[in-house]
Amino acid sequence: MANPYQEGQQYGQQEQDGAYQQPAANPAPAAGGKKKRAYAGQAFDFGSGANAGLAAAPQGGQPPAAGAFGYPGQPQQQQPAYGMPQQPAYGQPGYVDPAAQQQAAAYGQPAYGQPAGYEPPQAGYPQQPTPGVQGVTQQFAQMGMGGQAAAQPQQVPQAAQRLNPLIPTDISMQGQPFHVADLDQPPPPIILPPNSSVTPSPHANCPPKYVRSTLNAMPTTSSLLKKSKLPFALIIQPYATLHDAEDDVPVQYDQVIARCRRCRTYINPFASFLDHSHRWRCNMCNLTNDVPQSFDWDSAKQQSVDRWQRPELNYSVSEFVAPQEYMVRAPQPLIYLFLFDVSYAGVTSGLLATAARCILESLDRIPNTDRRTRLGFMAVDSSLHYFSIPRDGSENSDPKMLVVSDLEEPFLPTPEDLLVNLTECRANIENFLGKLQGMFASTQDNGSAMGSALRAGHKLISHVGGKVVCLSASLPNVGHGKLDMREDKKLLGTSKENSLLQTQNSFYKSFAVECSKTQVSIDMFLFSAQYQDVASLSNLPRYTGGQTYFYPAWNAARTEDAIKFATEFSDYLSSEIGLEAVLRVRTTTGLRPSAFYGNFFNRSSDLCAFPAMPRDQAYVVEIAIDESVTKAFACLQVGVLHTTCNGERRIRVLTLSIPTTQNLAEVYASADQQAITHYFSHKAVERALSSGLDAARDAVQAKIIELLQTYKKELGGGNMGGGGLQFPANLRALPMLFLGLMKNLGLRKSAQIPTDLRSAALCLLSTLPLPLLMQYIYPRMYSLHDMPDDAGLPDSQTGAIVMPPPLNLSSGNLVPYGLYLIDDGQTQFLWLGRDAVPALIADVFGTEDKNQLKQGKTTLPVIDSEMNERVRAVVEKSRDHRGKGCGSIVVPPLYLIREDGEPSLRLWAQTLLVEDRADQGVSGAQFIGMLREKVIS
The answer to whether 621 and 585 have CB atoms below 8 angstroms apart is yes
User: How many angstroms separate the CA atoms of 642 and 316, rounded?
Assistant: 18
Please give the mean pLDDT across all residues of the chain: 83
Identify the pLDDT of residue 105.
38
By mean pLDDT, which of 22-31, 657-666, 791-800, 837-846 is the weakest? 22-31
User: How many angstroms separate the CA atoms of 860 and 869, rounded?
Assistant: 10
Which stretches within 266-361 are classed as H helix? 311-314, 344-348, 351-361
User: How many CB atoms lie under 10 A from the CB of residue 329?
Assistant: 9
Where does the pLDDT of residue 161 fall: very low under 50, low under 70, confident under 90, or very high at 90 and above? low
The β-bridge partners of 624 are 592
What interhelical angle do 351-361 and 559-574 show, nearest 10? 40
Question: pLDDT (tens digit, 9 = 90+) per residue, 598-650?
Answer: 999 988 878 999 999 999 999 999 999 999 999 999 999 999 999 999 899 99
**Confidence check: pLDDT of 937 > 90:** no
Q: What is the mean pLDDT of residues 722-732?
A: 86
**Confidence check: pLDDT of 308 > 50:** yes
Where does the pLDDT of residue 544 fall: very low under 50, low under 70, confident under 90, or very high at 90 and above? very high
| Percentage of the residues of the chain whose pLDDT score is greater than 90 | 68
Residue 481 DSSP label: T
Question: pLDDT (tens digit, 9 = 90+) per residue, 796-819?
Answer: 998 999 999 999 999 999 999 999
The answer to whether 593 and 557 have CB atoms below 8 angstroms apart is no
**Confidence check: pLDDT of 112 > 60:** no
3-class SS at 898? strand
* Alpha-carbon distance values, 759 to 450, 511, 693, 934 (Å): 19, 20, 12, 32
Q: What is the mean pLDDT of residues 236-251?
A: 91
**Confidence check: pLDDT of 139 > 60:** no
* Alpha-carbon distance values, 221 to 548, 580, 631 (Å): 39, 37, 12
User: How many angstroms separate the CA atoms of 659 and 193, rounded?
Assistant: 8
**Fold entry, domain 779-913:** Severin (3.40.20)
Higher pLDDT, 80 or 756: 756
User: How many angstroms separate the CA atoms of 209 and 885, rounded?
Assistant: 6
- CATH code 3.90.1330.10 for 335-574: no
Where does the pLDDT of residue 303 fall: very low under 50, low under 70, confident under 90, or very high at 90 and above? confident
User: How many angstroms separate the CA atoms of 176 and 64, rounded?
Assistant: 7
Higher pLDDT, 452 or 411: 452
3-class SS at 28? coil
Identify the pLDDT of residue 154.
40
Identify the pLDDT of residue 501.
85
The answer to whether 824 and 781 have CB atoms below 8 angstroms apart is no
User: How many angstroms separate the CA atoms of 678 and 377, rounded?
Assistant: 38
The answer to whether 589 and 636 have CB atoms below 8 angstroms apart is no
Q: What is the mean pLDDT of residues 272-280?
A: 93
Give the β-pairing of 649-661 and 218-219: parallel
Identify the pLDDT of residue 37.
54
Exposure string over 715-739, b if 16+ CB within 10 A, otherwise e: bebbebeeebbbbbbbbbbbbbbbb
Question: pLDDT (tens digit, 9 = 90+) per residue, 490-507?
Answer: 888 778 888 888 888 999
The β-bridge partners of 319 are 251, 652
Q: What is the mean pLDDT of residues 158-185?
A: 85
Identify the pLDDT of residue 75.
33
Identify the pLDDT of residue 78.
35
Where does the pLDDT of residue 717 fall: very low under 50, low under 70, confident under 90, or very high at 90 and above? low
The β-bridge partners of 385 are 379, 403
Q: Which of 294-308, 389-403, 516-530 has the highest mean pLDDT?
A: 516-530
What element of type H or E holds 249?
none
Instruction: Name the residue ranges covered by the structural domains of the chain.
Output: 335-574, 676-774, 779-913
Where does the pLDDT of residue 248 fall: very low under 50, low under 70, confident under 90, or very high at 90 and above? confident
Residue 762 DSSP label: H
Question: pLDDT (tens digit, 9 = 90+) per residue, 376-433?
Answer: 999 999 999 999 999 887 777 788 898 888 787 766 776 667 899 999 999 999 999 9
Identify the pLDDT of residue 20.
29
| Percentage of the residues of the chain whose pLDDT score is greater than 70 | 81
Q: Which residues does 888 contact at the CB level (< 8 Å), separation at least 6?
A: 242, 616, 769, 772, 881, 882
Identify the pLDDT of residue 398.
84
- CATH code 1.20.120.730 for 676-774: yes
Residue 295 DSSP label: G
User: How many angstroms separate the CA atoms of 194 and 663, rounded?
Assistant: 19
DSSP track, 167-214: -EEE-STTS----GGGGGSPPPPP-PPTT-SSS--TTSS--TTTEEES
**Confidence check: pLDDT of 118 > 90:** no
Where does the pLDDT of residue 38 fall: very low under 50, low under 70, confident under 90, or very high at 90 and above? low
**Confidence check: pLDDT of 331 > 80:** yes
Question: pLDDT (tens digit, 9 = 90+) per residue, 876-919?
Answer: 999 988 777 788 999 999 999 999 999 999 999 999 999 998 76
Identify the pLDDT of residue 18.
32
Q: What is the pTM of this model?
A: 0.84
- Name the residue among 347, 335, 696, 766 with its Cα closest to residue 548: 766
**Confidence check: pLDDT of 703 > 60:** yes
- Name the residue among 747, 602, 734 with its Cα closest to residue 686: 747
Residue type (1 letter), 48: S
Higher pLDDT, 700 or 89: 700
